[in-house]
Structure 1
Amino acid sequence: MQESVTINRTYKDRLFKIIFEDKKELLSLYNALTGKNYQNPDELEINTIDDVIYMHLKNDMSFILDDWQNLFEQQSTFNPNQPLRGFFYFADLYKVKYFGKKIYSTRLLKIPTPQYIVFYNGTTNMPDKKELRLSDAFQQPTTQPDIEVVAHMLNINYGHNKELMERCQKLKEYAQFIDIIRHYLKENEHWSNEQAISKAIDDCIKNNILRDILQKERLRVMA
Protein backbone atom coordinates (compact mmCIF):
# COMPACT_ATOMS: atom_id res chain seq x y z
CA MET A 1 0.00 0.00 0.00
CA GLN A 2 1.35 3.38 -0.97
CA GLU A 3 1.14 6.04 1.70
CA SER A 4 0.12 9.65 1.23
CA VAL A 5 3.46 11.40 1.47
CA THR A 6 2.10 14.83 2.34
CA ILE A 7 0.09 13.72 5.35
CA ASN A 8 1.40 10.37 6.54
CA ARG A 9 5.04 11.38 6.63
CA THR A 10 4.06 14.43 8.66
CA TYR A 11 2.24 12.61 11.44
CA LYS A 12 4.91 9.90 11.72
CA ASP A 13 7.73 12.41 11.86
CA ARG A 14 5.95 14.69 14.30
CA LEU A 15 4.96 11.93 16.73
CA PHE A 16 8.47 10.44 16.78
CA LYS A 17 9.88 13.83 17.71
CA ILE A 18 7.17 14.41 20.35
CA ILE A 19 7.99 11.10 22.04
CA PHE A 20 11.75 11.34 22.07
CA GLU A 21 12.19 15.03 22.73
CA ASP A 22 11.51 13.91 26.29
CA LYS A 23 15.01 13.29 27.68
CA LYS A 24 13.79 10.36 29.77
CA GLU A 25 12.46 8.57 26.69
CA LEU A 26 15.51 9.52 24.62
CA LEU A 27 17.75 8.00 27.29
CA SER A 28 15.62 4.85 27.27
CA LEU A 29 16.06 4.60 23.50
CA TYR A 30 19.82 5.11 23.83
CA ASN A 31 20.04 2.38 26.48
CA ALA A 32 18.03 0.01 24.29
CA LEU A 33 20.36 0.59 21.36
CA THR A 34 23.63 0.33 23.25
CA GLY A 35 22.86 -2.13 26.02
CA LYS A 36 23.81 0.50 28.60
CA ASN A 37 21.83 1.31 31.73
CA TYR A 38 22.07 5.06 32.24
CA GLN A 39 19.49 6.35 34.71
CA ASN A 40 19.93 10.13 34.80
CA PRO A 41 18.42 11.96 31.78
CA ASP A 42 20.29 15.11 32.82
CA GLU A 43 23.51 13.44 31.68
CA LEU A 44 22.32 13.96 28.11
CA GLU A 45 23.88 17.05 26.55
CA ILE A 46 21.39 17.99 23.85
CA ASN A 47 23.05 19.82 20.95
CA THR A 48 20.49 19.51 18.16
CA ILE A 49 20.99 22.22 15.54
CA ASP A 50 18.20 24.73 16.16
CA ASP A 51 17.31 25.48 12.54
CA VAL A 52 14.30 23.20 12.00
CA ILE A 53 14.81 23.13 8.24
CA TYR A 54 18.54 22.41 8.42
CA MET A 55 19.25 19.98 5.56
CA HIS A 56 15.56 19.03 5.89
CA LEU A 57 16.49 17.03 9.00
CA LYS A 58 13.39 18.18 10.84
CA ASN A 59 13.28 15.16 13.11
CA ASP A 60 16.87 14.88 14.18
CA MET A 61 17.93 14.52 17.80
CA SER A 62 21.56 15.22 18.51
CA PHE A 63 23.17 14.72 21.89
CA ILE A 64 26.39 13.81 23.67
CA LEU A 65 26.54 11.07 26.29
CA ASP A 66 29.58 9.24 27.62
CA ASP A 67 31.85 10.85 24.99
CA TRP A 68 29.62 9.71 22.11
CA GLN A 69 28.21 12.30 19.72
CA ASN A 70 24.87 10.79 18.75
CA LEU A 71 22.66 11.76 15.84
CA PHE A 72 19.26 10.05 15.72
CA GLU A 73 16.89 10.65 12.82
CA GLN A 74 13.54 9.18 11.86
CA GLN A 75 12.88 8.70 8.14
CA SER A 76 9.60 7.80 6.44
CA THR A 77 11.24 7.15 3.07
CA PHE A 78 14.46 5.40 2.16
CA ASN A 79 17.23 7.88 1.35
CA PRO A 80 20.61 6.53 0.20
CA ASN A 81 22.12 9.99 0.74
CA GLN A 82 21.83 9.84 4.54
CA PRO A 83 25.62 9.50 5.00
CA LEU A 84 26.25 12.73 3.07
CA ARG A 85 23.61 14.54 5.10
CA GLY A 86 25.16 13.14 8.27
CA PHE A 87 28.60 14.26 7.12
CA PHE A 88 27.37 17.86 6.83
CA TYR A 89 25.54 17.67 10.15
CA PHE A 90 28.43 16.21 12.14
CA ALA A 91 30.84 18.71 10.60
CA ASP A 92 28.68 21.59 11.81
CA LEU A 93 28.27 20.04 15.26
CA TYR A 94 32.02 19.73 15.71
CA LYS A 95 32.61 23.17 14.22
CA VAL A 96 30.25 24.78 16.73
CA LYS A 97 31.87 23.00 19.67
CA TYR A 98 35.54 23.06 18.73
CA PHE A 99 36.27 25.76 16.16
CA GLY A 100 39.02 28.00 17.47
CA LYS A 101 39.77 25.72 20.44
CA LYS A 102 43.44 25.08 19.77
CA ILE A 103 42.82 23.08 16.61
CA TYR A 104 46.26 24.19 15.42
CA SER A 105 47.93 22.97 18.59
CA THR A 106 50.58 20.25 18.59
CA ARG A 107 48.46 18.43 21.17
CA LEU A 108 45.69 16.13 19.97
CA LEU A 109 42.22 17.59 20.54
CA LYS A 110 39.95 14.74 21.59
CA ILE A 111 36.37 14.81 20.31
CA PRO A 112 33.27 12.68 21.04
CA THR A 113 32.94 9.58 18.87
CA PRO A 114 30.16 9.98 16.28
CA GLN A 115 27.25 7.56 16.11
CA TYR A 116 24.58 7.96 13.44
CA ILE A 117 21.29 6.05 13.69
CA VAL A 118 18.45 6.33 11.17
CA PHE A 119 15.07 4.97 12.25
CA TYR A 120 13.21 3.93 9.11
CA ASN A 121 9.46 3.24 8.92
CA GLY A 122 8.53 3.64 5.29
CA THR A 123 6.51 1.15 3.22
CA THR A 124 9.36 -0.01 0.98
CA ASN A 125 10.57 -3.39 2.21
CA MET A 126 13.85 -3.08 4.08
CA PRO A 127 15.85 -5.47 6.28
CA ASP A 128 15.97 -5.00 10.03
CA LYS A 129 19.40 -3.40 9.74
CA LYS A 130 21.28 -1.79 6.88
CA GLU A 131 24.54 0.14 6.73
CA LEU A 132 24.73 3.14 4.41
CA ARG A 133 28.25 4.37 3.70
CA LEU A 134 29.42 7.68 2.32
CA SER A 135 32.08 5.85 0.31
CA ASP A 136 29.33 4.10 -1.70
CA ALA A 137 28.67 7.49 -3.32
CA PHE A 138 32.29 8.14 -4.32
CA GLN A 139 32.71 8.45 -8.07
CA GLN A 140 36.06 6.69 -7.82
CA PRO A 141 35.59 3.51 -5.75
CA THR A 142 38.20 2.84 -3.08
CA THR A 143 38.60 0.20 -0.41
CA GLN A 144 40.40 2.65 1.88
CA PRO A 145 38.48 5.93 1.83
CA ASP A 146 40.18 8.86 3.54
CA ILE A 147 36.78 10.03 4.79
CA GLU A 148 33.93 7.74 5.78
CA VAL A 149 30.51 8.17 7.38
CA VAL A 150 28.29 5.22 8.26
CA ALA A 151 24.56 5.61 8.85
CA HIS A 152 23.10 2.62 10.69
CA MET A 153 19.54 2.30 9.41
CA LEU A 154 17.12 0.37 11.62
CA ASN A 155 13.72 -0.74 10.39
CA ILE A 156 11.22 0.22 13.11
CA ASN A 157 8.08 -0.93 11.35
CA TYR A 158 5.99 -3.17 13.60
CA GLY A 159 7.33 -6.73 13.52
CA HIS A 160 10.92 -5.69 12.82
CA ASN A 161 13.82 -5.46 15.29
CA LYS A 162 11.76 -7.20 17.95
CA GLU A 163 14.55 -7.35 20.53
CA LEU A 164 15.08 -3.60 20.29
CA MET A 165 11.34 -3.01 20.61
CA GLU A 166 11.18 -5.11 23.77
CA ARG A 167 13.96 -3.03 25.30
CA CYS A 168 12.27 0.29 24.49
CA GLN A 169 8.56 0.31 25.25
CA LYS A 170 7.82 3.72 23.72
CA LEU A 171 9.47 2.74 20.43
CA LYS A 172 7.38 -0.44 20.35
CA GLU A 173 4.17 1.49 21.03
CA TYR A 174 5.08 4.04 18.36
CA ALA A 175 5.45 1.18 15.84
CA GLN A 176 2.10 -0.26 16.96
CA PHE A 177 0.38 3.09 16.50
CA ILE A 178 1.68 3.50 12.95
CA ASP A 179 0.68 -0.09 12.13
CA ILE A 180 -2.87 0.50 13.40
CA ILE A 181 -3.25 3.57 11.18
CA ARG A 182 -2.06 1.61 8.15
CA HIS A 183 -4.53 -1.15 8.99
CA TYR A 184 -7.45 1.28 9.04
CA LEU A 185 -6.38 2.89 5.77
CA LYS A 186 -6.11 -0.53 4.13
CA GLU A 187 -9.44 -1.81 5.45
CA ASN A 188 -11.34 1.44 4.79
CA GLU A 189 -10.24 2.78 1.44
CA HIS A 190 -12.75 5.64 1.59
CA TRP A 191 -11.31 6.94 4.86
CA SER A 192 -9.16 10.03 4.92
CA ASN A 193 -5.82 9.99 6.69
CA GLU A 194 -7.32 12.17 9.41
CA GLN A 195 -10.11 9.66 10.05
CA ALA A 196 -7.65 6.78 10.34
CA ILE A 197 -5.34 8.73 12.64
CA SER A 198 -8.21 9.85 14.88
CA LYS A 199 -9.59 6.30 15.17
CA ALA A 200 -6.11 4.93 15.89
CA ILE A 201 -5.62 7.54 18.62
CA ASP A 202 -8.91 6.51 20.25
CA ASP A 203 -7.99 2.81 20.09
CA CYS A 204 -4.49 3.35 21.44
CA ILE A 205 -5.69 5.47 24.35
CA LYS A 206 -8.22 2.74 25.19
CA ASN A 207 -5.56 0.01 24.99
CA ASN A 208 -2.81 1.93 26.81
CA ILE A 209 -0.61 2.40 23.74
CA LEU A 210 1.12 5.78 24.01
CA ARG A 211 -1.84 6.78 26.16
CA ASP A 212 -0.12 9.57 28.08
CA ILE A 213 1.31 11.18 24.96
CA LEU A 214 -1.78 10.84 22.75
CA GLN A 215 -4.08 12.25 25.43
CA LYS A 216 -1.83 15.25 25.91
CA GLU A 217 -0.66 15.81 22.34
CA ARG A 218 -3.64 14.73 20.25
CA LEU A 219 -3.93 18.07 18.46
CA ARG A 220 -0.21 18.16 17.63
CA VAL A 221 -0.34 14.63 16.24
CA MET A 222 -3.44 15.43 14.17
CA ALA A 223 -2.17 18.80 12.91
Structure 2
Amino acid sequence: MKQSLLIVEDDEPTRAFLADNLSADGFKVACAGGVGEGLRAIEVRHPSLVLLDLGLEESHGLDLLDRVRSADGIASRFDPDLPVIVITGRAAEADRVRGFARGADDYLVKPFHYGELLGRVRAVLRRSAGRPRRGVLRVGELTLDPLTRAVRVGGRPVHLSAKEFSLLQALAEDPTRVRSKNELLRDVWGYVSIGQTRTVDAHACRLRRKLGPSGRGWVVNVRGVGYKLTDAS
Protein backbone atom coordinates (compact mmCIF):
# COMPACT_ATOMS: atom_id res chain seq x y z
CA MET A 1 0.00 0.00 0.00
CA LYS A 2 1.35 3.42 -0.98
CA GLN A 3 2.23 5.86 1.78
CA SER A 4 0.46 9.18 1.40
CA LEU A 5 2.12 12.59 1.53
CA LEU A 6 0.59 16.06 1.76
CA ILE A 7 2.51 19.01 0.31
CA VAL A 8 1.50 22.39 1.77
CA GLU A 9 3.20 24.91 -0.51
CA ASP A 10 1.86 28.07 -2.18
CA ASP A 11 4.48 28.21 -4.95
CA GLU A 12 2.92 26.27 -7.82
CA PRO A 13 6.16 25.28 -9.65
CA THR A 14 7.71 23.97 -6.41
CA ARG A 15 4.50 22.15 -5.54
CA ALA A 16 4.30 20.53 -8.99
CA PHE A 17 7.99 19.55 -8.95
CA LEU A 18 7.66 17.83 -5.57
CA ALA A 19 4.37 16.15 -6.44
CA ASP A 20 5.65 14.78 -9.76
CA ASN A 21 8.89 13.40 -8.32
CA LEU A 22 7.39 11.95 -5.14
CA SER A 23 4.61 10.31 -7.15
CA ALA A 24 7.23 8.79 -9.45
CA ASP A 25 8.98 7.41 -6.36
CA GLY A 26 5.88 5.53 -5.29
CA PHE A 27 4.07 7.89 -2.94
CA LYS A 28 0.42 8.90 -3.09
CA VAL A 29 0.60 12.71 -3.13
CA ALA A 30 -1.95 15.43 -2.35
CA CYS A 31 -1.32 19.17 -2.41
CA ALA A 32 -2.61 22.26 -0.62
CA GLY A 33 -1.80 25.90 -1.21
CA GLY A 34 -2.33 27.27 2.28
CA VAL A 35 -2.94 26.56 5.96
CA GLY A 36 -6.73 26.29 5.78
CA GLU A 37 -6.66 23.99 2.78
CA GLY A 38 -3.88 21.99 4.39
CA LEU A 39 -5.79 21.44 7.62
CA ARG A 40 -8.86 20.28 5.68
CA ALA A 41 -6.70 17.88 3.67
CA ILE A 42 -5.19 16.43 6.85
CA GLU A 43 -8.67 15.82 8.27
CA VAL A 44 -9.96 14.15 5.11
CA ARG A 45 -6.91 12.37 3.70
CA HIS A 46 -5.02 11.35 6.86
CA PRO A 47 -1.56 11.60 5.23
CA SER A 48 1.43 9.62 6.49
CA LEU A 49 3.60 12.77 6.42
CA VAL A 50 3.29 16.49 5.65
CA LEU A 51 5.83 18.61 3.76
CA LEU A 52 5.19 22.13 5.05
CA ASP A 53 6.38 25.47 3.66
CA LEU A 54 6.56 28.30 6.20
CA GLY A 55 6.19 31.34 3.95
CA LEU A 56 2.56 30.83 2.95
CA GLU A 57 0.58 33.84 1.74
CA GLU A 58 -2.51 33.54 3.91
CA SER A 59 -0.82 32.49 7.16
CA HIS A 60 2.47 31.26 8.62
CA GLY A 61 3.12 27.57 8.12
CA LEU A 62 3.82 27.14 11.82
CA ASP A 63 0.14 27.94 12.46
CA LEU A 64 -0.71 24.62 10.82
CA LEU A 65 1.95 22.84 12.85
CA ASP A 66 0.58 24.37 16.06
CA ARG A 67 -2.94 23.17 15.25
CA VAL A 68 -1.75 19.63 14.65
CA ARG A 69 0.55 19.38 17.67
CA SER A 70 -2.04 20.87 20.05
CA ALA A 71 -4.74 18.37 19.02
CA ASP A 72 -5.95 16.04 21.75
CA GLY A 73 -6.41 13.13 19.35
CA ILE A 74 -9.98 12.60 20.57
CA ALA A 75 -12.28 15.54 19.82
CA SER A 76 -9.99 16.65 16.99
CA ARG A 77 -9.52 14.70 13.80
CA PHE A 78 -5.82 15.56 13.75
CA ASP A 79 -3.19 13.08 14.85
CA PRO A 80 -0.91 15.13 17.14
CA ASP A 81 2.00 12.83 16.24
CA LEU A 82 1.63 13.33 12.47
CA PRO A 83 5.17 13.57 10.99
CA VAL A 84 5.90 17.03 9.54
CA ILE A 85 8.99 18.12 7.59
CA VAL A 86 9.42 21.87 7.18
CA ILE A 87 10.73 22.96 3.76
CA THR A 88 11.52 26.67 3.66
CA GLY A 89 13.88 29.36 2.50
CA ARG A 90 14.36 30.54 6.08
CA ALA A 91 17.87 29.40 6.93
CA ALA A 92 18.60 31.38 10.11
CA GLU A 93 19.41 29.37 13.23
CA ALA A 94 16.57 31.09 15.10
CA ASP A 95 14.09 29.90 12.45
CA ARG A 96 15.40 26.34 12.67
CA VAL A 97 15.21 26.32 16.47
CA ARG A 98 11.69 27.77 16.33
CA GLY A 99 10.59 25.11 13.87
CA PHE A 100 11.87 22.23 16.00
CA ALA A 101 10.50 23.80 19.18
CA ARG A 102 7.04 23.96 17.61
CA GLY A 103 7.16 20.27 16.72
CA ALA A 104 8.78 19.82 13.29
CA ASP A 105 10.26 16.35 12.76
CA ASP A 106 12.83 17.70 10.30
CA TYR A 107 13.79 21.04 8.72
CA LEU A 108 15.11 21.41 5.18
CA VAL A 109 16.24 24.74 3.70
CA LYS A 110 15.55 25.72 0.09
CA PRO A 111 17.13 25.31 -2.38
CA PHE A 112 17.72 21.62 -1.78
CA HIS A 113 18.55 18.56 -3.85
CA TYR A 114 15.55 16.31 -4.40
CA GLY A 115 17.56 13.24 -3.40
CA GLU A 116 18.18 14.72 0.04
CA LEU A 117 14.49 15.51 0.50
CA LEU A 118 13.55 11.96 -0.52
CA GLY A 119 16.06 10.53 1.95
CA ARG A 120 14.68 12.67 4.77
CA VAL A 121 11.09 11.73 3.95
CA ARG A 122 11.93 8.04 4.06
CA ALA A 123 13.92 8.42 7.28
CA VAL A 124 11.10 10.24 9.08
CA LEU A 125 8.57 7.67 7.87
CA ARG A 126 10.81 4.85 9.14
CA ARG A 127 11.03 6.48 12.57
CA SER A 128 7.28 7.01 12.60
CA ALA A 129 6.60 3.39 11.64
CA GLY A 130 8.97 2.27 14.40
CA ARG A 131 6.96 3.92 17.13
CA PRO A 132 5.50 1.17 19.30
CA ARG A 133 1.78 0.63 18.85
CA ARG A 134 0.61 -0.83 22.08
CA GLY A 135 -2.61 -1.62 23.82
CA VAL A 136 -3.68 -0.08 27.10
CA LEU A 137 -0.75 0.71 29.40
CA ARG A 138 -1.25 0.02 33.10
CA VAL A 139 0.72 1.13 36.13
CA GLY A 140 -1.19 0.18 39.26
CA GLU A 141 -4.60 1.89 39.11
CA LEU A 142 -3.47 4.19 36.30
CA THR A 143 -4.48 3.18 32.77
CA LEU A 144 -3.54 4.91 29.52
CA ASP A 145 -4.97 4.04 26.11
CA PRO A 146 -2.71 5.29 23.27
CA LEU A 147 -5.44 4.72 20.67
CA THR A 148 -8.22 6.75 22.31
CA ARG A 149 -5.79 8.89 24.37
CA ALA A 150 -7.91 8.20 27.45
CA VAL A 151 -6.37 8.21 30.93
CA ARG A 152 -7.97 6.91 34.13
CA VAL A 153 -6.83 6.65 37.73
CA GLY A 154 -8.85 4.16 39.77
CA GLY A 155 -11.58 4.36 37.13
CA ARG A 156 -11.71 8.19 37.29
CA PRO A 157 -11.16 9.88 33.91
CA VAL A 158 -8.25 12.34 33.80
CA HIS A 159 -8.30 15.05 31.13
CA LEU A 160 -4.84 15.92 29.83
CA SER A 161 -3.46 18.24 27.18
CA ALA A 162 -1.71 16.68 24.18
CA LYS A 163 1.76 17.24 25.65
CA GLU A 164 0.74 16.07 29.13
CA PHE A 165 -0.60 12.86 27.60
CA SER A 166 2.55 12.33 25.53
CA LEU A 167 4.73 12.92 28.60
CA LEU A 168 2.71 10.43 30.65
CA GLN A 169 2.83 7.88 27.82
CA ALA A 170 6.61 8.23 27.51
CA LEU A 171 6.96 7.49 31.23
CA ALA A 172 4.32 4.71 31.29
CA GLU A 173 5.91 2.76 28.42
CA ASP A 174 8.78 1.80 30.75
CA PRO A 175 7.94 2.70 34.37
CA THR A 176 11.07 0.93 35.63
CA ARG A 177 13.30 3.47 33.88
CA VAL A 178 14.23 7.05 34.72
CA ARG A 179 13.86 9.24 31.61
CA SER A 180 16.24 12.19 31.39
CA LYS A 181 14.85 15.64 30.63
CA ASN A 182 16.73 15.74 27.34
CA GLU A 183 15.23 12.39 26.33
CA LEU A 184 11.75 13.66 27.14
CA LEU A 185 12.32 16.92 25.28
CA ARG A 186 13.44 14.94 22.24
CA ASP A 187 10.68 12.31 22.32
CA VAL A 188 7.74 14.47 23.46
CA TRP A 189 8.59 17.95 22.15
CA GLY A 190 10.80 16.96 19.23
CA TYR A 191 13.90 19.00 20.03
CA VAL A 192 17.01 18.91 22.18
CA SER A 193 17.60 21.75 24.60
CA ILE A 194 20.67 23.91 24.00
CA GLY A 195 20.36 25.52 27.44
CA GLN A 196 18.34 25.51 30.63
CA THR A 197 14.61 24.90 30.16
CA ARG A 198 11.74 24.31 32.56
CA THR A 199 9.41 22.88 29.92
CA VAL A 200 9.48 19.30 31.25
CA ASP A 201 9.28 20.41 34.89
CA ALA A 202 6.25 22.62 34.24
CA HIS A 203 4.35 19.87 32.42
CA ALA A 204 5.31 17.27 35.05
CA CYS A 205 3.98 19.57 37.78
CA ARG A 206 0.63 19.98 36.02
CA LEU A 207 0.50 16.25 35.36
CA ARG A 208 0.95 15.51 39.07
CA ARG A 209 -1.92 17.82 39.99
CA LYS A 210 -4.26 16.28 37.43
CA LEU A 211 -3.52 12.72 38.52
CA GLY A 212 -4.98 13.57 41.91
CA PRO A 213 -3.95 13.85 45.55
CA SER A 214 -1.36 11.14 45.09
CA GLY A 215 -0.03 12.69 41.87
CA ARG A 216 3.33 13.45 43.43
CA GLY A 217 3.73 9.72 43.97
CA TRP A 218 2.95 8.90 40.34
CA VAL A 219 5.37 11.27 38.62
CA VAL A 220 8.64 11.22 40.54
CA ASN A 221 11.45 13.72 39.98
CA VAL A 222 14.79 11.94 40.33
CA ARG A 223 16.99 14.90 41.19
CA GLY A 224 19.74 15.56 38.70
CA VAL A 225 18.52 12.85 36.32
CA GLY A 226 14.92 13.22 35.17
CA TYR A 227 11.52 11.63 35.78
CA LYS A 228 9.96 8.21 36.23
CA LEU A 229 6.47 6.86 36.83
CA THR A 230 5.75 4.86 39.98
CA ASP A 231 2.69 3.03 41.28
CA ALA A 232 1.00 5.35 43.78
CA SER A 233 -2.16 3.22 44.11
TM over 0.5: no
From the two aligned structures, give the one with the greater helix fraction: 1
* Structure of greater relative contact order (alpha carbons < 8 Å, 6+ residues apart): 1
From the two aligned structures, give the one with the greater strand fraction: 2
TM-score by length of 1: 0.26
